[in-house]
Amino acid sequence: MIKAIKGTKDLLPVDSPRWKHLESIVEKVFKTFNYKEIRTPVFEETSLFARGIGEDTDIVGKEMYTFFDMGNTSLTLKPEMTASVVRAYNEHSLGSLQPVTKLYYIASMFRQERPQAGRLRQFNQFGAEAIGSSSPLLDVEMIQMSYNIVTDLGLKDLTIKINSLGVPKSRENYKNLLREYLNDKQHDLSEDSRKRFDTNILRIFDSKSTGDQKILKDAPKLMDHLDDESRADFEIVKEQLEKSHISYEVDPALVRGLDYYTKLTFEIISSSVGAQNALCGGGRYDLLIETLGGKPTPATGFAAGIERILLACENEKSFTVPDESLDIYIVRLDKTLESVVMQFADKLRKQNLSVDFDYLQRSVKAQMREANKMNAKFTLFVGGDEYEQEMTRLKNMESGKEEKISLNELDKLVSKIKNE
Ligand code: HAM
């Protein structure tokens, strides 16, 4: 038997109502903040991500699903949405329609990571990007939106971490200070961190090694070397979060795994899932639009992992969704009435009722069992003497009450079902 690829997951009908519940909350929250949906292709030119996310990141270095098409162009399944959204923003001059473009998405992403709980190779994100303003209020908006969504889902065990990475100039100065500090400690660092010392020194802060963390404890802090503008913006973010009653922690080690960030970065961490505990992450990326060929335009955004959030919801039992029930199950009393039942079901379905019936020529008893299993609100019996008189019998499955209705009184039947 052929099975699904490791790190991918089927969304089965039992899981789908929870998924839809999440999507309805996501769409409601984005609507309240006036974000509009964008969908982009599943694959893009590889250079978009290499340039956008950064050659020295784990994503570009080792996690992308890259292949050559028949024209020998290198293509990549999108590992994240921000680069694709910016590509679309530049390509369609979206900025000329509005000074601030607010976009949201729900889509599948692909990263060749080692699968584990909360870490997949095809996973789904929802997220938002606001392009066109450097106001820290938009950074706050990102945190408010993600926080509103996860709390609307009933999640409680949450920590919001924020940091500022400053503008490139202050960050470069800081990197030199860090390099100086770590220079004579290099041989005590883990192998990964030794590599990062040369390629992407800030990412050493992501190391899980206790030895590395011990060394980093006394390292100079980026927060103490921020430029004035980044510092002022960071103060506004903190003040607005406090006014919105959103508690946060400042985490100077929050460097994030993508290279495009400037100034604010944030993550929402859950303590009810395992090691993969970041439910969402984001921040400001004021230079990405020009890096990808557009006019210099500031921007900010975030993305959240749907599977991870639903795992947290399951562990916290944060919400339950009722089973999807069926409006009517039609029970056919005579085998010869198959076509009549089919046509009647069609009429009811056109009235927006959910209708099902037997396709296996089963006995009346078996059809009744099926109606119960499907949690049908009503059963409609078609056949026998009643049918000769152009009548049917409608049974309310909860109260057990039965009523005869003429087959020609479709309106009456529909209004009964909709109103009871
Ligand atoms: P990211 O931190 O790489 O950021 O991903 C955002 C979220 O996607 C993570 O917090 C996590 O919940 C989920 N996620 C990431 N990788 C996996 C995986 N392998 N399996 C399951 N879930 C995963 C970005 O993608 C940026 N584009 C966010 C952003 C938007 N920044 C600015 N705008």
Confidence check: pLDDT of 323 > 90: no
At 347, the pLDDT band (50, 70, 90 cuts) reads very high
Question: Based on the domain organization, do 212 and 351 belong to the same domain?
Answer: no
Question: Based on the domain organization, do 353 and 331 belong to the same domain?
Answer: yes
Q: How far apart are CA 369 and CA 367, in angstroms?
A: 5
Question: Based on the domain organization, do 53 and 20 belong to the same domain?
Answer: yes
Asked, for residue 84, whether it belongs to a domain, the answer is yes
pLDDT at 112: 97
pLDDT at 206: 86
Residues 6+ apart with CB under 8 A from 122: 5, 7, 8, 9, 108, 109, 110
What is the span of the domain harbouring residue 193? 168-226
pLDDT at 1: 96
Asked, for residue 10, whether it belongs to a domain, the answer is no
Asked, for residue 365, whether it belongs to a domain, the answer is yes
Question: Based on the domain organization, do 182 and 120 belong to the same domain?
Answer: no
Give nearest CA residue, ligand 1 atom 15.
305
Span 206-213, mean pLDDT?
A: 90
Q: What is the pLDDT of residues 365-385, one digit of tens each?
A: 999 999 999 999 999 999 999
Question: Based on the domain organization, do 411 and 391 belong to the same domain?
Answer: yes
Question: Based on the domain organization, do 287 and 378 belong to the same domain?
Answer: no
Domain total in the chain: 3
Most confident of 146-150, 205-209, 318-322: 146-150
H or E stretch including 416? helix 410-419
Asked, for residue 399, whether it belongs to a domain, the answer is yes
pLDDT at 159: 97
Question: Based on the domain organization, do 288 and 380 belong to the same domain?
Answer: no
From 78, 308, 310, 313, mutation site for ligand 1 pocket: most ligand atoms within 8 A of C-beta? 308
**Domain containing 108 — which CATH number?**
3.30.930.10
Question: Based on the domain organization, do 343 and 414 belong to the same domain?
Answer: yes
Question: Based on the domain organization, do 269 and 401 belong to the same domain?
Answer: no
Asked, for residue 239, whether it belongs to a domain, the answer is no
Question: Based on the domain organization, do 208 and 330 belong to the same domain?
Answer: no
Q: How far apart are CA 263 and CA 361, in angstroms?
A: 67
pLDDT at 307: 97
Confidence check: pLDDT of 418 > 90: no
What are the distances in angstroms from CA 287 to CA 52, 189, 259, 300, 317? 10, 31, 10, 10, 41
Span 275-285, mean pLDDT?
A: 96
| pLDDT mean across residues, the chain | 95
Higher-pLDDT residue of 324, 327:
327
Asked, for residue 4, whether it belongs to a domain, the answer is no
Most confident of 143-147, 173-177, 209-213, 224-228: 143-147
Give nearest CA residue, ligand 1 atom 33.
301
Asked, for residue 222, whether it belongs to a domain, the answer is yes
pLDDT at 325: 85
Span 18-27, mean pLDDT?
A: 97
From 109, 129, 158, 285, mutation site for ligand 1 pocket: most ligand atoms within 8 A of C-beta? 109
Question: Based on the domain organization, do 36 and 77 belong to the same domain?
Answer: yes
pLDDT at 407: 86
Question: Based on the domain organization, do 263 and 330 belong to the same domain?
Answer: no
**Domain containing 330 — which CATH number?**
3.40.50.800
